[in-house]
Amino acid sequence: MLTDEIHITIKAGDGGDGIVHFYHDAFRPKGGPDGGDGGNGGDVYLQAVSDITKLGQFRHTKVYKAESGQAGGRNKRSGKNGQDLVIQVPVGTIATYDNGTSVELDKVGQKQLMARGGQGGRGNFVFRSSTNQTPQEFEEGTKTQEKKLFLQLKLIAQVGLIGLPNAGKTSLLNELTSANARVANYSFTTLEPNLGFAKAGYIIADIPGLIEGAATGKGLGIKFLKHIERTQILVHCISAESQDPLKDYQTIHQEISNYSSVLAKKKEIIVVTKSDTVDSKKLKEIQKIIKSKTATSIIDDDSIKKLSNLLTKSLD
């Protein structure tokens, strides 16, 4: 199951404390103050990666802490800085703090500072002066607070596959991308959206099949349509095995329109799937009825390549 919403807690590292120390050896029993500064605490970052399953990692571990800075040392040595923590999230993640401010990670590789590490405190060496040669002062490192984050994955697929159950949507996703999603010869095989990355760099979303009445909650309903709202193109899949391809087309189009007029007006490529199940005459007939210029079969690589090229050309 794709995790697309999750709460986590992050904490930047505390600053290390400065220390009070005085140098002395056999020759210089009062060598003076030499307590070093504490190191800075590590920052916490989010970084966008292309793996859309990445929010799943947070199901088990909820708290993420960067390393704290170490305390200063004798001989004016500064404490080691704490290591930053870089947490990977899928591209398309929106991270929202408790106070409502949010940041969106919308480019692969984008790195966003979410919690700054505490400053290291100064050691007594820096507090020495002509009037105070034995300073007892030092600073504690700044302590950081935990922050709660709500991570939400807004899928940013450029292409959305729609159609009735069993139309061959998931099979097409697997052919067009490196996805390896479950396919079976019955309706509602897909229960959660699948995503795949096409070689050309775009993302395709496959959602569960829609049925008549979906907009009012029938079948798996419409809750998955939100995942294709921001796509640029819809690939409307109609099976060549269908008894009534035009009705299939109209059913889906109606449900989409009931859900959102924006979605209904989206650019659409109508594809007759499973073209190998009919002869070429019948295929042409179907294509004419539903005004489809493209047909695919998962056993015909050329047909998949043609659709793939068409998609690449159609996307800006």
Ligand X SMILES: Nc1nc2c(ncn2[C@@H]2O[C@H](COP(=O)(O)OP(=O)(O)OP(=O)(O)O)[C@@H](O)[C@H]2O)c(=O)[nH]1
CB of 108 to ligand X, least distance (A): 27
Angle at 261 between CA 237 and CA 190, to 5 degrees: 35
274 counts as binding ligand X under rule CB under 6 A: yes
Which three-class secondary structure state does DSSP give residue 165? coil
CB of 140 to ligand X, least distance (A): 59
Distances, alpha carbon 282 to alpha carbons 164, 245, 276, 302, in Å? 20, 12, 11, 19
The span from the CA of 278 to the CA of 79, in Å, is 74
Which three-class secondary structure state does DSSP give residue 182? coil
CB of 211 to ligand X, least distance (A): 9
The span from the CA of 287 to the CA of 285, in Å, is 5
152 counts as binding ligand X under rule CB under 6 A: no
Closer Cβ to Mg ion, 141 or 208, answer by number? 208
CB of 188 to Mg ion, least distance (A): 8
86 binds, among ligand X, Mg ion, none (CB under 5 to 8 A by kind): none
CB of 82 to ligand X, least distance (A): 47
CB of 205 to ligand X, least distance (A): 12
Bridge-based pairing state of the strands 146-153 and 294-295: unpaired
The partner residues of 8 in beta bridges, in order of sequence, read 149
CB atoms within 10 A of CB 270: 20
CB of 178 to ligand X, least distance (A): 16
Q: What are phi and psi of 91, to 5 degrees?
A: -60, 140
Q: Which of 205, 208, 287, 295 binds ligand X (CB under 6 A)?
A: 208
187 binds, among ligand X, Mg ion, none (CB under 5 to 8 A by kind): ligand X
11 binds, among ligand X, Mg ion, none (CB under 5 to 8 A by kind): none
Closer Cβ to Mg ion, 10 or 237, answer by number? 237
Question: Which single residue is written with the structure tokens 């709500």?
Answer: 150
Residue with the shortest CB distance to ligand X: 209
* Dihedral, 230, 233, 234, 238 alpha carbons, nearest 10: -170
Contact 45, 117 (CB under 8 A): no
Interface with ligand X in residues 159-188 (CB under 6 A): 163, 165-171, 183-185, 187-188
The span from the CA of 109 to the CA of 300, in Å, is 36
CB of 181 to ligand X, least distance (A): 8
228 counts as binding ligand X under rule CB under 6 A: no
Q: In 125-273, which ranges are continuous DSSP H helix?
A: 169-176, 245-259, 261-264
Structure tokens at 293: 């210029």
Closer Cβ to ligand X, 142 or 166, answer by number? 166
The span from the CA of 4 to the CA of 185, in Å, is 27
245 counts as binding ligand X under rule CB under 6 A: no
184 binds, among Mg ion, ligand X, none (CB under 5 to 8 A by kind): ligand X
65 counts as binding ligand X under rule CB under 6 A: no
196 binds, among Mg ion, ligand X, none (CB under 5 to 8 A by kind): none
287 counts as binding ligand X under rule CB under 6 A: no
57 binds, among Mg ion, ligand X, none (CB under 5 to 8 A by kind): none
Chain contacts with Mg ion (rule: CB under 5 A): 170, 189-190
The H or E element spanning position 307 is helix 301-314
Q: Which residues bind ligand X (CB under 6 A)?
A: 163, 165-171, 183-185, 187-190, 208-209, 273-274, 276-277, 297-298
